[in-house]
Amino acid sequence: MAKRRTDLGAYQPEIVAGNGLLHRRALLGRGMMLAGAAATGVDGSLTSAAAEPMVDPAWTNAPGSLMLPYQVPSRFEKDVVRAVDNPNNLPRNTRARTPHHLLNGIITPNGLHFTICHGGVPDIDPAQHRLVIHGLVKRPLVFTLEDLARYPKVSRIGFVECGGNSAPLFSNTPIQANVTALHGLASCSEWTGVLLSTLLEETGIDPKAKWIIAEGADSPRLTRSVPVAKALDDAMIAMYQNGERIQPGQGYPMRLWLPGYEGNMNVKYIRRLQLTDQPTMSYYESRTYSQILPDGKAYRFYFLQEVKSFITSPSPGLALKDPGIYEVTGVAYSGTGRITKVMISADGGQSWGEAALQDPVLPKAFTRFRMPWRWNGGPAVLQSRAWDEGGNVQPLRADFVALRGQTSRPPDVGAFPSQHFNAITSWGVSNRGEVNHVYA
Amino acid sequence: MAKRRTDLGAYQPEIVAGNGLLHRRALLGRGMMLAGAAATGVDGSLTSAAAEPMVDPAWTNAPGSLMLPYQVPSRFEKDVVRAVDNPNNLPRNTRARTPHHLLNGIITPNGLHFTICHGGVPDIDPAQHRLVIHGLVKRPLVFTLEDLARYPKVSRIGFVECGGNSAPLFSNTPIQANVTALHGLASCSEWTGVLLSTLLEETGIDPKAKWIIAEGADSPRLTRSVPVAKALDDAMIAMYQNGERIQPGQGYPMRLWLPGYEGNMNVKYIRRLQLTDQPTMSYYESRTYSQILPDGKAYRFYFLQEVKSFITSPSPGLALKDPGIYEVTGVAYSGTGRITKVMISADGGQSWGEAALQDPVLPKAFTRFRMPWRWNGGPAVLQSRAWDEGGNVQPLRADFVALRGQTSRPPDVGAFPSQHFNAITSWGVSNRGEVNHVYA
């Protein structure tokens, strides 16, 4: 007979904050973790947790299926997909959001990287695609993909986040939705390509050049202004994503990647970089992706994705089953650089304990944090708060909305306020183990 | 009119080894890289490299397509797939090899991670799958996937390599094949799961236990013996691969991952771990995956994948087009720990220059190396040689085969010798720019 283990026995783990947050090493070496494992017969007789006798299942008794040249996830993972908000491809923008609550680690697999397109996903023939660098340069140049292949390349793990990610949190009441809907417009990959500074060494730069107008080859011809200083710092013409060619939703065959800058500036399908002495004031930067502050002024040309974190598990849709030990985990990131600390609260911010950060902690990349938590079966409010190496701290929601505003309208990208929300997210846990979005 | 740039002008870059190998920073800040970029009109008028006038292509003038919930690569990348050697799923083993020459960075995307199965790819229902730990333990336990979700987890980027990877290089004549065929049974991912040591703390360990018999749930019930010491070091029950659930070819819903140990020990579809006082001498370890040395003795219970590297570009199938600058790049890795150095030769080992290693350099993970090379249009032999933090160096082929043997039969996994080839690979470049596998 199986016996489910349901408590920590006599062991009292080190509590570091209220409502059951345990020291991140409290359980190591204890052998008393009660994560629901069931006892089995001492002969290893495969008595299952539910005490039914275990027999070899079908897949152990018959050969498996064909091996695919390009492998796909198990059919049992069919619900682990991006949430697409324009499934009939009507003539407007479309967003596909990453289902963070079903993922783990820091890499977002290519199939699930978020996408926003303003005119559908283009089908670009890489042999015909060109990148032109012109304007205030000494030698205007045209690059094919084959040309770029010969240049020195760089690989770097880093995030891309839409400036409108987390826009629903500008609502003056907590919108009931899961992590996908609330924070699914950020993802993290290993990007490989040629540094833009390398190509600008080829073209030379006129000292008058201060801005670069970056233009995409898809039908909206999305155009954004990028400071030359950023281009010479860590900007990349990225051609590979997690090892393979960039997928169509991320800019196949090449995109501009500006580590830490808001998503739409990382112009996909990049075809043109024009060096100029002033920004272009394009539609996409003066209308779609500007942020109007409560005093009516624009928060325009504010590019940085500031320090942020959110808990991916537990989270809405992932109910807690029984009281006991759980892992609280999520991602933290900052456009400024490395994450230095993530604190967790289980009592709505009254007390905090420090989470473990998964190595390697990379600049401008997702950092996975983890912390053990003993849920006592009562109500709880889970929060995470991140710090970065620039000394920045993720703001409390109340402080953030006092400065940046909130709204009673349905929040959306393009509505205001909608941009650069980076305050704390709170998950309320009910005494039935349900998890909801709350303000605390 | 377009003018293709074809030389370095007056600049003489720093040469670090024979036949055109340049210092890894030789081209930085020079603006004279001649990677084939074409000049354009000073007005940026999009004159292409081939001097045809550029007009907006179809994808710029029409809306794009539907956004997919689970994104896939562009149709133009249809040839970037694994090479499957048993496409009709006959009742024998099947290998799907990673096309390294078409990839870049250190992450292998999940669709292209190599797979070997001895009985096809099983279709396992994760809700029915169980992991049993029994034998010489204090408390035998059964874990469901849901149980494991609650335990403290760890993410780690690392490689898996089949012990038979590179087996064709045991041939006494250089087999003409590409990187996929020669080295495609190694891949690198971010793996997330529960450390096996955590679960063994739950079960407790009888001091008599020295080995763990690991058994898979697929029809071959592949069984291997793992030292308890490795299990307590860095072994993981992995459930996620590059963020999402492990794909069916990598062991869905869970696999044993033993960083740095030969692939088949990383038992996929893991369902049973039995602690014992001796190894099991299973079919898969005494027959399939043993290595017979020239003196007739077995190289059995030799688990480590030793320090190794290979150049992925240029490589067979990627011909050089024109004389000039190219990036020589590839991957290096070691089951012992971090890669400390990769040296490149363009003259068959007569002289060597040091390659740049891409940060972060992680233990037991792929490390991407890169080096600029000026091909003068004459014959060349490209080689890479890696060192690891254990002080180990990748052997020369002649030294390796003197110790471990070579064969005139068609080499294959299961034939002998076939296991743990880690000597230097040589790519011969002809004066027409073709790249072939050579021994040098």
pLDDT digits (tens, 9 = 90+) for A388-422: 999 999 999 999 999 988 988 765 555 567 889 99
pLDDT score recorded for residue B117:
95
Task: With CA atoms as reference, report the closest residue to B300 among B381, B206, B416.
Answer: B416
A69 touches B: beta carbon within 8 Å: yes
CA A157 to chain centre: 12
Strands A131-135 and A270-276: parallel
B135 touches A: beta carbon within 8 Å: yes
- Taking CA–CA distances from A251, the nearest residue in chain B reads B74
Q: Are residues A318 and A328 in contact, defined by beta-carbon separation less than 8 angstroms? A: no
Q: Are residues A344 and A21 in contact, defined by beta-carbon separation less than 8 angstroms? A: yes
Task: With CA atoms as reference, report the closest residue to A22 among A254, A284, A257, A327.
Answer: A327
B103 touches A: beta carbon within 8 Å: yes
- For residue A264, the one-letter residue type is N
pLDDT score recorded for residue A205:
97
Q: Do A130 and B49 touch (CB under 8 A)?
A: yes
Q: Do A33 and B201 touch (CB under 8 A)?
A: yes
Is residue A438 over pLDDT 60? yes
Q: State whether CATH 1.10.287.130 applies to domain B131-288.
A: no
Q: Do B72 and A70 touch (CB under 8 A)?
A: yes
Chain A residues with CB under 8 Å of B117 CB are 64, 67
- Which residue of A30, A67, A124 is the best one to mutate when testing the B interface, meaning the one whose CB has the most B CBs within 10 A? A67
B61 touches A: beta carbon within 8 Å: yes
B93 touches A: beta carbon within 8 Å: no
pLDDT score recorded for residue A38:
65
B113 touches A: beta carbon within 8 Å: yes
pLDDT score recorded for residue A295:
78
**More confident call, B169 vs A15:** B169
Taking only the tens place, the pLDDT of each residue in B210-253 is 999 999 999 999 999 999 999 999 999 999 999 999 999 999 99
Task: With CA atoms as reference, report the closest residue to A372 among A2, A33, A10, A29.
Answer: A33
Q: Do B35 and A72 touch (CB under 8 A)?
A: no
Instruction: Tokens for B27, please give them.
Output: 């081209």
Chain B residues with CB under 8 Å of A332 CB are none
Q: Do B120 and A325 touch (CB under 8 A)?
A: no
Is residue B168 over pLDDT 70? yes
The CA-CA-CA angle for residues A23, A363, B366, to 5°, reads 90
Burial class of residue B92 (count of CB atoms within 10 Å of its CB; 0-12, 13-18, 19+): exposed
User: Alpha-carbon distance B253 to A80, whole Å?
Assistant: 14
**More confident call, A9 vs A326:** A326
Fold identical between B131-288 and B308-438?
A: no
Q: Which of A276-280, A285-289, B113-117 has the highest mean pLDDT?
A: B113-117
Domain segments of chain A: what residues? 131-288, 308-438
Q: What is the mean pLDDT of residues A99-113?
A: 98
User: Alpha-carbon distance B391 to B372, whole Å?
Assistant: 26
Chain B residues with CB under 8 Å of A57 CB are 124-125, 128, 217
Instruction: Tokens for B85, please give them.
Output: 């050697």
Band of residue B281 on the pLDDT scale cut at 50, 70, 90: confident
pLDDT score recorded for residue A55:
77
Chain A residues with CB under 8 Å of B71 CB are 82, 96, 110-113, 115, 247-249
* Beta-carbon contacts of residue B61 (< 8 Å; ≥ 6 apart): A219
Q: In the CATH scheme, what is the code of domain B308-438?
A: 2.60.40.650
What's chain A's Rg over C-alpha atoms? 24
Is residue B317 over pLDDT 80? yes
Q: What is the mean pLDDT of residues A219-232?
A: 94
B315 touches A: beta carbon within 8 Å: no
- Taking CA–CA distances from B134, the nearest residue in chain A reads A44
pLDDT score recorded for residue A14:
83
A31 touches B: beta carbon within 8 Å: yes
Q: What is the mean pLDDT of residues B3-23?
A: 71
- Taking CA–CA distances from A215, the nearest residue in chain B reads B60
B360 touches A: beta carbon within 8 Å: yes
pLDDT score recorded for residue B409:
75
Task: Tally A–B CB contacts below 8 A.
Answer: 449
Lowest average pLDDT, out of A32-41, A97-106, A312-321, goes to A32-41
Instruction: Tokens for B25, please give them.
Output: 């920073």
A198 touches B: beta carbon within 8 Å: yes
Q: Do A33 and B126 touch (CB under 8 A)?
A: no
Chain B residues with CB under 8 Å of A128 CB are 57
Taking only the tens place, the pLDDT of each residue in B33-80 is 544 566 654 443 333 333 444 678 999 999 999 999 999 999 999 999
Band of residue B15 on the pLDDT scale cut at 50, 70, 90: confident
Q: Do B80 and A244 touch (CB under 8 A)?
A: yes
Q: Which residues pair with A148 in a beta bridge?
A: none
Instruction: Tokens for A161, please give them.
Output: 């986040």
B377 touches A: beta carbon within 8 Å: no
Instruction: Tokens for A381, please give them.
Output: 């409010």
- Looking at chain A, the whole-number percentage of residues with pLDDT higher than 90 is 76
B4 touches A: beta carbon within 8 Å: no
A52 touches B: beta carbon within 8 Å: no
Is residue B395 over pLDDT 50? yes
User: Alpha-carbon distance B173 to B245, whole Å?
Assistant: 41
pLDDT score recorded for residue A2:
39
Q: What is the 3-state secondary structure (H, E, C) of chain B?
A: CCCECCCCCCCCCCEEECCCEECCCCCCCCCCCCCCCEECCCCCCCCCCCCCCCCCCHHHHCCCECCCCCCCCCHHHCCCCCEECCCCCCCCCEEEECCHHHCCCCCCCHHHCCEEECCCECCCCCCCCCEEEEECCCCCEEECHHHHHCCCCEEEEEEEECCCCCHHHHECCCCCCCHHHHHCCEEEEEEEEEEHHHHHHHHCCCCCCCEEEEEECCCCCCEEEEEHHHHHHCCEEEEEECCEECCHHHCCCCEEECCCEEHHHCCECEEEEEEECCCCCCHHHHHHCCCECCCCCECCCCCECCCEEEEEECCCCCCCCCCEEEEEEEEEECCCCCEEEEEEECECCCCCEECEECCCCCCCCCEEEEEEEEECCCCEEEEEEEEECCCCECCCHHHHHHHHCCECCCCCECECCCCCCCCCCEEEECCCCCEEEECC
pLDDT score recorded for residue B42:
40
pLDDT score recorded for residue A296:
74
